[in-house]
Amino acid sequence: MPETSLFLLEVGLLDRIGTLLGQSGFDRCVVLTDHNVATAWRPSLQAGLAPLRQDWIVMPAGEEHKTLDHVRDLYGRMLELEADRQTPVLAFGGGVVGDLAGFAAATWLRGLPFFQVPTTLVAMIDSAHGGKTGVDLPEGKNLVGAWHPARAIWADPRTLRTLPRREWASGMVEAVKAALLASPELLERLEAFSRPPDPSRRQESESQELVFQSARIKRGIVARDPWESGERVLLNLGHTLGHALERAGNYSRFTHGEAVGLGLLAALRLAGRRGVLPDASDLRHRVESLLAAWDLPRAIPASFRWEVVAAGLKRDKKRLRGRLVFVLPTRLGRAEVFEVGEAEVRQVFEELQAAEGSPELG
């Protein structure tokens, strides 16, 4: 499953998607979106899809709806719409919409053509790329899923204009992760972009460049390791603890980016404790400063119990031989995989709970 998805990032792209689908031989499509995106951008995409027959499925917004029950609802709608193997599915939204639509497209009739139309910073930078789809179970995040890469990813930066600041902040975390993995220059760019942390005061070209450079890092890793048998595991930096915190907060206390931001701080602390990251405190300070600029949490709430978080960690898909697998930075622009003990993670968890001067939530 090589990464073959075409990635177009262009202002006004929503207006041309119907033409692009027509050029690919399609005369209809099914669009899956959520209420928030539909309110802001449905008229624009509807107009862009005017040459085609289009059917819309609008779901409630939020991670709590990324479940097998909602997939069953989608199957029912696909049946009503008589969607066949030549009916493309368009995921028009953020990561939740992309995961859910992609999983439905992968499994309905054993696979429908799938296209991503990401509208959030997280999706444009990260979740729309790489072919992972899935849903959550009560026991953990993305435990059920399939590989189903989009045939194309069409991103119109105009949709970022209506993105709430909290969602912008969440997307910035994925950009920080990409910088820690592969690009000291990107980290400098993110720091400059965050002075002040107000996208409305930046040129749209700056936002586009941020998206392009961040997505390029993920797409390069995926192209080299499409099946996550080696290098691609590095993309889980910050996500092992991040996913467990999301679950512990019932997917409502933290956004995905907020939880991953805390996961990045945990990874930097673990790397410092183990002595694998020179100048760990300096790099941690830079990341903490970026999180602070965007009012992102830098402390785990005192109400979170370790036993609940530990239960989520034990459901992590990357666990090996009963030990946790963490991606840890070894220098700015490089990271490696380490097996760690639960006691080590608990120490870092408790340090982050005791962090002074760091808000629990932005």
Q: What is the mean pLDDT of residues 248-256?
A: 93
Does pLDDT of 356 surpass 80? no
* pLDDT above 70 (res 260): yes
The catalytic site residues sit at: 110, 132, 174, 218, 228, 232, 236, 239, 243, 256
Mean pLDDT confidence for 221-243: 94
Average pLDDT over residues 289-317: 93
Mean pLDDT on 180-197: 96
Specify the pLDDT at position 257.
96
- In this prediction, residue 158 carries a pLDDT of 95
Instruction: Give me the mean pLDDT over the 48-56 stretch.
Output: 96
- What is the structure's pLDDT at 355? 82
* pLDDT greater than 80 at residue 319: no
Structure tokens at 39: 């309110």
For the entire predicted model, the pTM comes to 0.93
pLDDT at position 362 is 41
Residue-level pLDDT at 51: 86
What residue ranges define each of the domains in the chain, with the CATH number in brackets? 6-161 (3.40.50.1970), 164-353 (1.20.1090.10)
At 82-108, the pLDDT tens digits run 999 999 999 999 999 999 999 999 999
Q: Which residues fall within 8 angstroms of residue 303, CB to CB, at 6 or more apart?
A: none
| Mean pLDDT of all residues in 207-219 | 96
